[in-house]
Amino acid sequence: DAKTTQPTSMDCAEGRAANLPCNHSTISGNEYVYWYRQIHSQGPQYIIHGLKNNETNEMASLIITEDRKSSTLILPHATLRDTAVYYCIVRVHFGTNAGKSTFGDGTTLTVKP
Amino acid sequence: DTEVTQTPKHLVMGMTNKKSLKCEQHMGHRAMYWYKQKAKKPPELMFVYSYEKLSINESVPSRFSPECPNSSLLNLHLHALQPEDSALYLCASSLGRVLAKNIQYFGAGTRLSVL
């Protein structure tokens, strides 16, 4: 199974872009990259996912390198409510283990006023 | 609506008790998941159900027994647990297990304490 590596913590100024990196150098062809966040031990909240192309939605952008070995989650204008633990996940998308997820240890993002 | 409802929110049980955790969704999702999360750690997958059939069991001890009685409901039966089983138990659901159907939506979890 692919592993993901994330920095333990990061700070960001309110209103600035937050760039959260993730390394997933052993990702395989049937695995997608997902990002979730978790606030105050609530259930994880889906943010965005992708296979190999860059993706953008109303919450964030996801940049995946061409070799797919790393990715960056971008929150374009961080607010205090974005303070959370952000998980980078590789998830099997087809085959016997479809649905199986491997979570990284997470990055605690603190947005400061 | 992307709501997954878990009950109870908190549970305290002794090592000889039998209890059950319940998870419900009404989004028409056909895949459901149980995760275990210890303090300050990421969630770890325990079980995956697809169309009410157990698809993945991550070598979970038999004192945890999952059940999927219908497409909306997922239970986790607990028996003879150990103190180290104390954790946040999370349920998730997705449209399916494959490709674009695999966005998993999580409930708020059941915080379990085993005494």
B32 and B73 in contact (C-beta within 8 Å)?
no
Q: Is the pLDDT of residue B38 over 70?
A: yes
* Interatomic CA distance for residues A113 and A104, integer angstroms: 27
Tokens 């992708």: give the residue.
A50
Instruction: Report the pLDDT value the prediction gives residue A1, as an integer from 0 to 100.
Output: 61
Mean pLDDT per 10-residue section of chain A, whose length is 113 residues: 89 97 93 94 92 94 96 97 96 87 94 96
Residue (of B31, B18, B92, B12) closest to A94 by Cα position: B31
Q: Residue B99: pLDDT above 80? A: no
What count of residues does chain A have? 113
**B54 in reach of chain A (CB within 8 A):** no
Give the pLDDT of residue B100.
67
Q: What is the mean pLDDT of residues B80-84?
A: 95
Phi-psi region at A15: left, alpha or beta (left = phi > 0; alpha = psi -120 to 50) = left
Average pLDDT of B13-41? 95
pLDDT at B50 over 80: yes
Q: Do B45 and A100 touch (CB under 8 A)?
A: yes
Separation in Å, CA A45 to CA A35, A58, B84, B98: 9, 14, 26, 19
Interface A-B: count of C-beta contacts within 8 A: 58
User: Hey, how many other C-beta atoms are within 10 angstroms of the C-beta on A76?
Assistant: 13
Q: What pLDDT was estimated at residue B113?
A: 96
| Contacting residues for A1 by C-beta, under 8 A, at least 6 apart | A90, A100, A102
Q: Please report the pLDDT score of residue A53 as a whole number.
A: 85
The DSSP string of A48-66 is EEESSS-EE-SS-EEEE-T
Mean pLDDT for the stretch of residues B75-91: 96
Peptide bond into B8 cis (omega under 30): yes
| Nearest Cβ partner for B105 among A32, A46, A100 | A46
Q: Is B92 on the interface with A (CB under 8 A)?
A: yes
Min Cα distance A14 → chain B (Å) is 25
Q: Would you mind telling me the total number of residues written for chain B in this entry?
A: 115
Instruction: Judge: A43–B90 Cβ closer than 8 Å, yes or no.
Output: yes
Tokens encoding B109 = 């979890």
Report the pLDDT averaged over residues B82-86: 96
Q: What is the pLDDT of residue A37?
A: 97
CA dist A57 and A62 (Å) reads 9
